[in-house]
Amino acid sequence: MKTPLFMTHHSPVGAYSSFTFGAFGKGVSIDMESPRIQAERYDLYVGYSQSGRVMALPFREDVVIKDESVEVFAEGNKEIKQIKKNLWNFFSEEEIVRTLTPCVDRFEAGRISLEIYTPHSQIEDYEKEEPSAYSVCPGLLFRLTINNEDGLTPAIGYLGLGHNVLRFLHSVQRNGLIGLGYRNSWALLTESDSDAYLLRGDRLDQMLQNDINMYHEKGPGAICIKAQPGEKKELLAAFGFYTADPATCGIETMYCYGQKFSNVCDVCRCILNNADRIQEESATLDSTMEAIVKDPIKLQIIAQGIRSYEASTQLSTANGKYYYNVGEGAYCWRNTLDLAADHLPWELYRNPWMVRNIMDLYIERYSYIDEVKFKEEPERFFEGGMSFTHDMGNYVTFSPESYSDYEASIVPNASVYLYMTTEELLNGIYCICAYALHTKDGMWLEKRADVLRKLLCSMENRDHYEPSKRDGILKAVSSRSKLVGKESTTYDALDHSLMDASGSLYVAVKTGCALIMLKECFKKIGDMEHYTRAMEMLRLNFVSLSRYQTEEGFLRANLYSDTDSRVLAAVEPLAVPYMLGLTGDDIMPIKELLLAHIRRCMQEDVCIEKTNGGIRLSSKSNNTWVSKVILCLAVMEKVFGIDLEKEYPSAMRELQYWCQVSAKDVSISDQILITERAVIGGCYYPRSASSAIWLF
């Protein structure tokens, strides 16, 4: 399946870095601890020269060709103007065949192909063995192939970089490697004892056109390889990232890879030494995922989603402890817990220990005990219980213990920065239970059993302080929100029907799902008292869900406030229980209720945009989120057996459009203005790793 040209992250797991390119005429953004495309970009020089014609892929900002341009030279006190001809011939988008898989981004045009391998290595669980240099290596593998088997003259393949600021690029010729780099921060290198050679100078095009082997420490540079007539030649190059600076503050850590490598040349050497292994493992993982996910559209969305996720990942260490972080894209919140619940499909598929690592730190440093109040008694506070912060800080800074950087007790804007105590309580349960049940890590489950008991108690207290008045619906507001008077959900950027946590349909369904997982965990450890309590609250929750049903058959967005919004988002919490095999008999009492709701939501001009068939999460909001639409569609298909292609044929294709066309200049966006098919926020966002739900 041919993939359009759009910006794509190419990122080693845990390096918080990305080599981002792929859009026509947009160049390359080399992102280090900056999960967004930089204003100052590099040009990627890649193509071939043959018989005096220099061909190039269009990954440069000077793609628009002008036949003539003027250079001005200073000689003494005179200016000499010289007309020069631009020799670059760029391939059009139609001439390029791009194939994007979870591990490989491949471009083919004319005689060349360029492949970029994103190593999705499983990083060793540090509680069982030390992470290896290979698994944490902050580098990428490039393979340039030039096919001159039917050629009559020699052909030169080239791969390089250019920048209009001279100091941003230097040539590297050391330690048996040649190429280009910037300080000790990054480098594009290959073996110096191979057939490759380095060209550099202002008129790189002339050097390539005339096969002139020149070198001048100015202008763009390229690693080159020559194929004689009848030959096919291959160039393997490594792109490495590196910093010896601290990875984080608040908790002082260093990057895990800093224990394994001394400089960026060491990183590139590791990639080149393991080139065969990287290619073999990439082919194996791609084949495995393709065998599971038959739909090529879904597979490409997975490929794009997990790349954006990995661009936001950071693995650091200090004093023998490891800290895994997923930044919230351009917003940079550290390990946002409502995102962590949606990252579960990919993390549990590939590196389950990451979930345990995040939750261990949440339990130990970012949990808290609060009191709660109820709307009917606004002046009284009652026992609340344990919950978690929204995040662990921002960018490379850990926030103080028990506090996030996002949530504020006094906020100037009532739609954002509110506390999410109830939502994060449920997300914490999701992550703890999903890890324990998926991995069957009984020892860790026993270790965290008391935490699960406290979390169940916290849920009960947020239902009602009097046990006899509990109905399975969470309605209390945390004492941390006492100056605002309400809590929000992860959907704080959508309409009011999804924002308010108290009485929310979305929260009510998520409450039931959390209880399903809790009861399974209590059953695993033989705690029948808390198993029974979870079962009783689940029963009440299911009974109360029927109170949301309207005469028209859909479910009200909120039990306590008047709104005519129809929220398809209410069904997405079922995704994780499905992944764990818990959406069979466990949800039978509410299955028909939710299916009826889906059917009434999935109508044109309700949750289906009539102009393009895209999916709304709420009928009253034109702001739709890619990651959550993915989960809703997966639930519809996997849990309710709906044939999406037959019944809603535009839904998946529009989802693909948002990822590959709407967001082509920003790699991915999680917020799309559905009527205009335009990006409005959530750029470079990791949450679309939720697409890995299709692997289960």
Look up residue 91 and give its DSSP letter: P
Q: pLDDT at position 66, please?
A: 46
pLDDT > 90? residue 345: yes
Amino acid in position 542: F
Q: How far apart are CA 255 and CA 243, in angstroms?
A: 8
Q: Which residue has the tokens 């440069």?
A: 60
CATH no. for 326-695: 1.50.10.10
**Confidence category of residue 346, pLDDT binned at 50, 70, 90:** very high
First to last CA, the chain: 23
| Average pLDDT estimate for 191-211 | 93
Give the mean pLDDT of 582-600.
Answer: 97
**Mean predicted confidence (pLDDT) in 516-542:** 98
* Mean pLDDT of the region 661-690: 96
- Higher-confidence residue: 65 or 131? 131
What is the structure's pLDDT at 68?
45
Q: What are phi and psi of 601, to 5 degrees?
A: -75, -40
The single residue listed with the structure tokens 């949530």 is: 407
Within 10 A of 211 (CB to CB), how many other CB atoms are there? Answer: 14
Output the CA–CA distances (angstroms, integers) from residue 100 to 118, 122, 123, 147, 682, in the order listed: 11, 20, 23, 21, 22
**What is the Cα–Cα distance from 197 to 86, expressed in whole angstroms?**
23
Whether 83 has a pLDDT exceeding 90, the answer reads: no
CA angle 160, 166, 167 (to 5 degrees): 105
What average pLDDT does the structure give for the chain? 94
Query: In this predicted structure, what is the pLDDT of residue 413?
Result: 62
Instruction: State the residue for tokens 């009848």.
Output: 230
pLDDT at 78: 53
- Separation of alpha carbons 542 and 585, rounded Å: 13
DSSP state of 129: S
Share of the chain above pLDDT 90, in %: 87
Q: What is the dihedral of CA 561, 565, 568, 571, to 10 degrees?
A: 10
- Per-residue pLDDT, averaged over 58-83, amounts to 60
41-45, 297-301, 472-476, 561-565: the lowest-pLDDT one = 561-565
Give residue limits of the domains in the chain. 17-286, 326-695
What confidence tens digit (pLDDT) does each residue in 397-419 have?
999 999 999 998 876 565 689 99
pLDDT at 264 (0 to 100) = 98
User: How much is the average pLDDT of 24-50?
Assistant: 93
220: confidence class by pLDDT, cuts 50, 70, 90: very high
Query: How high is the pLDDT of residue 76?
Result: 52
Query: Once rounded to an integer, what is the mean pLDDT over residues 327-338?
Result: 96
**294-308, 459-473, 475-489: least confident range:** 475-489
